[in-house]
Chains A and B, each alone.
Chain A
Amino acid sequence: MRRVEVDGNPVEVANGATILDAARVAGSWVPTLCFDERQAPFGACRVCLVGVEGSPKPLPACTTPCRDGMVIDTREASARRVARAVLELVLSELPEPPAPHTELARVADGLQVGEPRWPGVTHRVETDFRHPYLALRHELCISCGRCVRACDEVQGAFALTATGRGFGANVAAGLDAGFADSTCVSCGACADTCPTDAITEILLLNGLPSSERGAT
């Protein structure tokens, strides 16, 4: 067991548990975007940064294992400042604000990040509605990698790939030929984990019968 303190609350967690695990035990909210408990921690999005006593800089809660005696401050000022900036940059790339039910919207809410300060260029709207159930809306992708890992680590279909770099980073089904021409087994684990609705259920999106849909 490891004994740590989260926001003043002492908690005990199993060996190998992360700061995020401890924060959840303590009841402290730590925002996450690339984390999904069904997948191995990834540590890509940087919104789960927290302050740890003695650490010169903020640490990602989802990938940092607890050490005995750790004193954790989930609302430490510099950690929160970085997390907010990261989130603001993510939001600035989207052509529209995230839908209220999405995890991204809730994290933005929790971190009190509103309209980003940087207007500039946003992702081009690029949708693929060819699959009977799964809609791809590339413009909403924030490259958290959750869909790719759900496909690999949960289903084992290996149908999704992270593509592009920097601003052009996105996700592709198969060799960008769409779900139907990939190894996709239509399990929907990608739509289930997506924090932005970049991959979502078509039936929730518009209810259009498939005959009226097409690739754009």
Chain B
Amino acid sequence: MTIDRFDHTVSTTCGYCGVGCRLEAHARLGRIASISPALDGPANEGHTCLKGRFAHQFTRSRDRLTSPLIREGGRLRLASWEEAQHRIVSEFGRIKDSHGPDAIAGLASSRGTNEECYAMARLMRAAVGTNNIDNCSRVCHSPTSFALRKSFGLSGATGSFTDIDDAEVAILLGVNPTQGHPVVGARIKQAALRGCKLITIDPRRIELADYGVLHLAPRPGTNAAVVLGLCHVVRRDGLLDEPFIHERTEGYEALEELLDEYDPDVVEGITGIPAEDLEQAARIYGEARTGSILWGLGVTEHKYGSEVVQLLCNLAMMTGKVGRPGSALLPLRGQNNVQGSSDMGALPDTYTAYRPVSDEETARSFEAAWGVRLSRQKGYKIPEMFDAAIAGKLKAMYIFGEDVAQTDPDVAHVAEALESLEFLVCQEIFENETTKFADVVLPASAFLEKDGTFTNAERRFQRVEAAIDPPGAAKPDFEIITTVSRMLGHEMGWESPWDALDEIARLTPAYAGVSKERLGRRGLQWPVRADGTDSPTLYDTVFDRPGGRGSFAALPYKVPGDAPDHEFPLVLVTGRVLQHYNAGTMTRRTHNIELVDRDWLEIHPIDAARLWISDGDKVSIRSRVGQTELHVRLTERIEPGHVFTSFHFPEARTNLLVGQSADVNTSCPEYKVVAVDVRPMAEQPAFTPVLTTVG
């Protein structure tokens, strides 16, 4: 495709999933006319999916926010930027004076750039004076981040997507890449067609299972037992890399003792996976020279999600399959910048590169750079913010790019929290469920309208450049945040996001060599040394822990937070479909809606027959905390006893069903195991007698 038909073409990075496809955005008359994949994109190599390529019309949707709004007399009305900003400054000032800075909290967004997330963290820490800053990776991959730091040292994939091409075996646990990460999904499929042996482990028979050698369908919430079982067989059958264990790791003895308990028959009892399948899977992985492990939210969004990631690290270390080409651990990150938003320190307990807020040396370096005294106390995580709001301890929130009232679990609880706040600021591109509670709404920018960087699931910083201007009075998020900070009395001193990137590099040894120029078209994978050398593969010689050794974790299987019973006999699992993205804010405003126009409840024909449900029927789904309605689709890809739905349409309100059970280490919600009762909807009676009113 040439640029003849377009006014200009800008190379940027996709703002949908964490794959990080490099795109050529072609603009005409101030609008996106077309998007094509960059041939030299390291993650996508000239390919992209229907979201990255086609789903851009939302940028000029008629209902884009194009002016600030402020609440007056119970309604949101149009306002000027000055008015909106003054309202924020006066309310934040009032609340800070009467309740202290910790009565205010901010959320950065995994949809935003690194520079915006860094600015948001600086706004809360320096301008407001609190560590109450978090981001939406809390509800997806915070367990991955926690576990990788525990086991290996750094919070990121150990390798790159090219490791998939070099792997003899790939284990896919709780991840459905052809739907959620389509370009990586296509890469895995091509690898499988060339002979890479896929082992898929998921309660649903995902598309890639059809291309694999083995599919294991565990009961939802039993991943830990599956991985412990794999480790048991690897050890029993002598498939260990003993020199690796001896020279590069610690804590193996404690794990050995634990593994004795997880023979395949025991694991079959817990997971429902036939013992011989588990043994075969362990042997295929253990005997291969190279093998990679990929996982997604099917691992993390559980009560013990972070522990399962640690167990996966055990499996890789036992077989020496880490830190080499073809042998990588690749968490498929959900959002475009879920890696970067946490890397940037938009977390209640860490500065950039996961350095604790309690660390004196780090805190001093930021104090010196920002010229303010910084708190050494951890702030609230997202779920704690809601609890604190209801308890009356948190009075104000500034939420940037997250529809918490739609996407966080236990919607009723979130709504109560938002109602309890005295003051709520939302920075958004569309009105949504959360803005209904807002006192000030600031019109922000989509990824095609801003400059900065995203960090993809390979730890790769990549450049983002604006192809079009934001509509109306909407502004780039970076400008909005830095302006609010200035008005609150803290001048950040940056003219552009690139100045912020320079500051991030200067204050963070792990990103020391990152700069706009060095990133160029291919980006850089952190850690980046001061001379610009980056790190496609981690841990080739040492792990990034004290002593340089990887750490085994002896963690037993524990039952999930929710379980089916007599009243709620089915287990609901939620996930994504190819055509839509998360809350659907963007994709529902494109022609993708013609391809998929609703969330479906998938149910096995055996369950459907038992419940007198036919394909296409509308059903009621009730959990311990909520109830909603969906149309059903019968499929044998799901096991009897389980049901599945996506969560892309606000009207389905799937998260009304999800309770407050969460990962024990990171508070990541247990979206993947919800006991439910499914019933056919009562038919409309053919004749309704009119009753006379009495009295």
A24 to nearest B CB, angstroms? 13
Question: With A186-B579, A187-B50, A188-B53 as given contacts, are A100 and B182 in contact (CB-CB < 8 Å)?
Answer: no
A212 at the interface (CB under 8 A from B): no
Whether B594 and A186, one on each chain, are in contact in the complex, defined by CB atoms closer than 8 angstroms, is no
- Contacts of B591 on A, CB cut-off 8 Å? 132-133, 210
Whether B53 and A210, one on each chain, are in contact in the complex, defined by CB atoms closer than 8 angstroms, is no
Q: How far is the CA of A156 from the CA of B34 in the complex (A)?
A: 23
- Contacts of A155 on B, CB cut-off 8 Å? 47, 186
Which of B1, B2, B39 has the most chain A CB atoms closer than 10 A to its own CB? B1
B587 to nearest A CB, angstroms? 12
B660 to nearest A CB, angstroms? 36
| Pick from A37, A156, A186: contact of B54, CB under 8 Å | A186
Q: How far is the CA of A201 from the CA of B50 in the complex (A)?
A: 11
A85 to nearest B CB, angstroms? 26
A48 to nearest B CB, angstroms? 19
Whether A192 and B36, one on each chain, are in contact in the complex, defined by CB atoms closer than 8 angstroms, is yes
Q: How far is the CA of A155 from the CA of B2 in the complex (A)?
A: 22
- Chain B 507-528, CB-CB to A under 8 Å as 1, else 0, gives 0000000000000000000000
A135 to nearest B CB, angstroms? 12
Question: With A132-B594, A192-B1 as given contacts, are A154 and B186 in contact (CB-CB < 8 Å)?
Answer: yes
Which of B39, B45, B595 has the most chain A CB atoms closer than 10 A to its own CB? B595
| Pick from B2, B37, B182, B578: contact of A101, CB under 8 Å | B2
- Contacts of A186 on B, CB cut-off 8 Å? 50, 54, 579, 595
A204 at the interface (CB under 8 A from B): yes
B642 at the interface (CB under 8 A from A): no
Q: Which residue in chain B gives the minimum CB-CB distance to A201? A: B34
Whether A187 and B1, one on each chain, are in contact in the complex, defined by CB atoms closer than 8 angstroms, is no
- Contacts of A101 on B, CB cut-off 8 Å? 1-2, 4-5
- Contacts of A154 on B, CB cut-off 8 Å? 46-47, 186, 190
Whether A187 and B49, one on each chain, are in contact in the complex, defined by CB atoms closer than 8 angstroms, is yes
Whether A37 and B46, one on each chain, are in contact in the complex, defined by CB atoms closer than 8 angstroms, is yes
A189 at the interface (CB under 8 A from B): yes
- Contacts of A156 on B, CB cut-off 8 Å? 186, 189-190, 193
- Contacts of A187 on B, CB cut-off 8 Å? 47-50, 53, 182, 186
Q: How far is the CA of A213 from the CA of B186 in the complex (A)?
A: 30
- Contacts of B255 on A, CB cut-off 8 Å? none
Q: How far is the CA of A188 from the CA of B51 in the complex (A)?
A: 10
Q: Which residue in chain B gives the minimum CB-CB distance to A209? A: B591
- Contacts of B186 on A, CB cut-off 8 Å? 154-156, 187
A122 to nearest B CB, angstroms? 25
Which of B50, B182, B189 has the most chain A CB atoms closer than 10 A to its own CB? B50
B585 to nearest A CB, angstroms? 19
Q: How far is the CA of A210 from the CA of B590 in the complex (A)?
A: 11
A38 at the interface (CB under 8 A from B): yes
- Contacts of B213 on A, CB cut-off 8 Å? none
B597 to nearest A CB, angstroms? 11
Q: How far is the CA of A188 from the CA of B50 in the complex (A)?
A: 7
Question: With A133-B54, A203-B33, A204-B5 as given contacts, are A185 and B193 in contact (CB-CB < 8 Å)?
Answer: no
Question: With A156-B189, A201-B34, A204-B34 as given contacts, are A188 and B2 in contact (CB-CB < 8 Å)?
Answer: no
B672 to nearest A CB, angstroms? 24
Interface bin, chain B: 20 to 34
Question: With A37-B46, A185-B50, A204-B34 as given contacts, are A132 and B5 in contact (CB-CB < 8 Å)?
Answer: no
Q: How far is the CA of A52 from the CA of B287 in the complex (A)?
A: 48
- Contacts of A201 on B, CB cut-off 8 Å? 34, 54
B156 to nearest A CB, angstroms? 27
A150 to nearest B CB, angstroms? 9
- Chain B 9-52, CB-CB to A under 8 Å as 1, else 0, gives 00000000000000000000000011011010000011111100
Instruction: List A120-167 residues whose CB lies under 8 Å from chain B.
Output: 132-133, 153-156
A106 to nearest B CB, angstroms? 8
A214 to nearest B CB, angstroms? 13
Instruction: List B173-197 residues whose CB lies under 8 Å from chain A.
Output: 178, 182, 186, 189-190, 193
- Contacts of B33 on A, CB cut-off 8 Å? 203-204
Whether A38 and B45, one on each chain, are in contact in the complex, defined by CB atoms closer than 8 angstroms, is yes
| Pick from B50, B182, B578: contact of A133, CB under 8 Å | B50
- Chain B 546-586, CB-CB to A under 8 Å as 1, else 0, gives 00000000000000000000000000000000110000000
Q: How far is the CA of A101 from the CA of B189 in the complex (A)?
A: 33
B433 to nearest A CB, angstroms? 27
- Contacts of B1 on A, CB cut-off 8 Å? 101, 192
Q: How far is the CA of A192 from the CA of B189 in the complex (A)?
A: 20
- Chain B 219-233, CB-CB to A under 8 Å as 1, else 0, gives 000000000000000
- Chain B 407-451, CB-CB to A under 8 Å as 1, else 0, gives 000000000000000000000000000000000000000000000
Q: Which residue in chain A gives the minimum CB-CB distance to B36? A: A192
Q: How far is the CA of A106 from the CA of B189 in the complex (A)?
A: 34
- Contacts of B193 on A, CB cut-off 8 Å? 156
- Contacts of A132 on B, CB cut-off 8 Å? 591-592, 594-595
Q: Which residue in chain B gives the minimum CB-CB distance to A207? A: B33
- Chain A 171-196, CB-CB to B under 8 Å as 1, else 0, gives 00000000000000111110010000
Instruction: List A50-87 residues whose CB lies under 8 Å from chain B.
Output: none
- Contacts of B4 on A, CB cut-off 8 Å? 100-101
Whether A37 and B39, one on each chain, are in contact in the complex, defined by CB atoms closer than 8 angstroms, is yes
- Contacts of A133 on B, CB cut-off 8 Å? 50, 54, 591
Which of B47, B190, B579 has the most chain A CB atoms closer than 10 A to its own CB? B47
Q: How far is the CA of A101 from the CA of B46 in the complex (A)?
A: 19
Q: How far is the CA of A203 from the CA of B50 in the complex (A)?
A: 13
A105 to nearest B CB, angstroms? 10
Q: How far is the CA of A132 from the CA of B53 in the complex (A)?
A: 13
B195 to nearest A CB, angstroms? 14
- Contacts of A204 on B, CB cut-off 8 Å? 5, 33-34
Instruction: List A14-51 residues whose CB lies under 8 Å from chain B.
Output: 37-38
Q: How far is the CA of A189 from the CA of B182 in the complex (A)?
A: 12
Q: How far is the CA of A79 from the CA of B607 in the complex (A)?
A: 67
Whether A185 and B578, one on each chain, are in contact in the complex, defined by CB atoms closer than 8 angstroms, is yes
Q: How far is the CA of A106 from the CA of B2 in the complex (A)?
A: 10
Q: How far is the CA of A186 from the CA of B33 in the complex (A)?
A: 18
Q: Which residue in chain B gives the minimum CB-CB distance to A203? A: B34
Whether B37 and A192, one on each chain, are in contact in the complex, defined by CB atoms closer than 8 angstroms, is yes
Question: With A133-B50, A204-B34 as given contacts, are A185 and B5 in contact (CB-CB < 8 Å)?
Answer: no
Q: How far is the CA of A186 from the CA of B47 in the complex (A)?
A: 12
Q: Which residue in chain A gives the minimum CB-CB distance to B591? A: A132
B625 to nearest A CB, angstroms? 35
Show 22 A/B contacts (Cβ-Cβ < 8 Å), sorted by A.
A37-B39, A38-B45, A101-B1, A101-B4, A132-B592, A133-B54, A133-B591, A154-B46, A156-B190, A185-B49, A185-B178, A186-B50, A186-B54, A187-B49, A187-B186, A188-B50, A192-B37, A201-B34, A201-B54, A203-B33, A203-B54, A204-B34
Interface residues of B (CB under 8 A from A): 1-2, 4-5, 33-34, 36-37, 39, 45-50, 53-54, 57, 178, 182, 186, 189-190, 193, 578-579, 591-592, 594-595
A38-B47, A192-B36 known; 11 new pairs, CB 8 Å cut-off, are A100-B4, A101-B5, A106-B2, A154-B186, A185-B49, A186-B50, A187-B182, A192-B37, A203-B34, A203-B57, A204-B5
The 4 closest A-B pairs by CB, nearest first: A132-B591, A156-B189, A186-B50, A132-B594
